């Protein structure tokens, strides 16, 4: 990523027309497992970090499209609890890329009414990154357009453990009766308590797995896995996936 690259607010090369998408059936929440940066770089004999840099450009495109078509929530899996096990130099590069991304995009987040939030074990992030993240979240807190939920140091199992601990404490102190625990109470104690469940989950780079992402929330999400590596993921493919989503019949267990 460099500072001259187009930002979130750069206008689309092709205007998104209502003949491509049914604007009355836009998903409320899209979640994405942005995978394949390393393989993209390897194919080009580049350092994996170059793949992450190129991947940051795809993030800007996806954010712009979501804003243009009126998506409410975009949740991006940017760094998992398991990703802390990667080589130190890759973690350092990812963290500095994240900080740079937040700093360079703050202006266009404001211009485009985008609110940025984060879910995950944020206390594990380096101090300077966390400070920049907190500032960006604070700055954008009153924006009511698209909401981006960055999953950072995020793991679905840790989220469930944290939820169980919080509910157990409330039971212990008498605030909640065990028999009152239901799905709503569980949802209210997840990091995503005020975020609707994803309607559409996209994973790039072809892996047929969830990799510890939003385990509770994706119970009824429509899933799309594409072989395209995240840095190669295009606006046309993103729109085609949303179009495909609009053609699906969501039955939620009914007939
Ligand atoms: C996704 O790309 C980005 C992160 C997990 C941070 P990868 O880095 O996992 O790329 P591959 O899967 O090795 O190609
Ligand atoms: C999932 O990708 C995490 C993110 C996209 C941030 P990984 O590359 O870490 O997942 P695995 O190792 O293929 O399951
Ligand atoms: Mg991967």
Domain presence at residue 39: yes
Residue ranges with CB less than 5 Å from ion ligand 3: 35
H-type alpha helices, the chain: 37-43, 48-69, 88-111, 127-139, 156-172, 183-188, 235-247
| Ligand index nearest the alpha carbon of residue 209 | 2
Q: Output the pLDDT for position 8.
A: 77
Mean pLDDT on 40-48: 98
Domain presence at residue 183: no
Mean pLDDT on 132-155: 98
Question: Is the distance from the beta carbon of residue 38 to the nearest atom of ligand 1 less than 6 Å?
Answer: yes
Question: Is the distance from the beta carbon of residue 105 to the nearest atom of ligand 2 less than 6 Å?
Answer: no
* Domain carrying residue 107: 29-155+196-247
Domain count, the chain: 1
Mean pLDDT on 137-164: 98
Residues noted as catalytic: 35, 83
Q: Is the pLDDT of residue 135 over 60?
A: yes
Domain presence at residue 114: yes
pLDDT in tens, 72-93: 999 999 999 999 999 999 999 9
| Average pLDDT value for the chain | 95
Domain presence at residue 136: yes
Domain presence at residue 220: yes
Question: Using CA atoms in the order 106, 122, 35, 94, what is the torsion angle rounded to 10 degrees?
Answer: 70
Q: Output the pLDDT for position 240.
A: 96
Q: Is the pLDDT of residue 5 over 90?
A: no
Domain presence at residue 7: no
- Kindly report the pTM of this predicted structure: 0.95
CATH number of residue 151's parent domain: 3.40.1180.10
Domain presence at residue 150: yes
Q: Output the pLDDT for position 7.
A: 74
Question: Is the distance from the beta carbon of residue 83 to the nearest atom of ligand 1 less than 6 Å?
Answer: yes
pLDDT in tens, 11-28: 555 566 677 899 999 999
Q: Which residues pair with 200 in a beta bridge?
A: 30, 222
Q: Output the pLDDT for position 1.
A: 39
Q: Output the pLDDT for position 4.
A: 46
Domain presence at residue 224: yes
Question: Is the distance from the beta carbon of residue 34 to the nearest atom of ligand 2 less than 6 Å?
Answer: yes
Q: Is the pLDDT of residue 3 over 50?
A: no
Mutation choice for ligand 2 from 31, 78, 82, 204, CB with most ligand atoms inside 8 A: 82
């Amino acid at each position: 990523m460099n500072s001259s690259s187009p930002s979130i607010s750069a206008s689309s090369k092709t205007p998104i027309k209502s003949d491509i998408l049914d604007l009355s059936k836009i998903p409320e929440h899209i979640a994405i497992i942005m995978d394949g940066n390393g393989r993209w770089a390897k194919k080009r004999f580049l350092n994996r970090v170059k793949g992450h840099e190129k991947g940051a450009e795809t993030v800007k495109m996806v954010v712009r499209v979501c804003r243009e078509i009126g998506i409410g929530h975009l949740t991006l899996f940017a760094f998992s609890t398991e990703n802390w096990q990667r080589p130190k130099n890759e973690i350092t590069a990812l963290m500095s890329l994240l900080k740079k991304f937040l700093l360079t995009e703050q202006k266009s987040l404001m211009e485009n009414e985008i609110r940025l939030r984060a879910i995950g074990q944020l206390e594990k992030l380096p101090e300077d990154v966390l400070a920049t993240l907190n500032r960006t979240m604070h700055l954008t807190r009153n924006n009511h357009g698209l909401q981006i939920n960055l999953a950072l140091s995020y793991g679905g199992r840790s989220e469930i453990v944290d939820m169980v601990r919080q509910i157990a404490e409330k039971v212990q102190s008498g605030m909640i009766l065990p028999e009152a625990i239901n799905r709503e109470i569980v949802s209210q104690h997840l990091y995503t308590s005020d975020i609707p469940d994803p309607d559409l989950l996209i994973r790039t780079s072809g892996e047929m797995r969830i990799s510890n992402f939003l385990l509770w929330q994706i119970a009824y999400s429509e899933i799309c896995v594409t072989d395209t590596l995240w840095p190669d993921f295009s606006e046309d493919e993103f729109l085609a996936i949303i179009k495909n989503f609009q053609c699906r019949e969501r039955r939620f267990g009914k007939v």
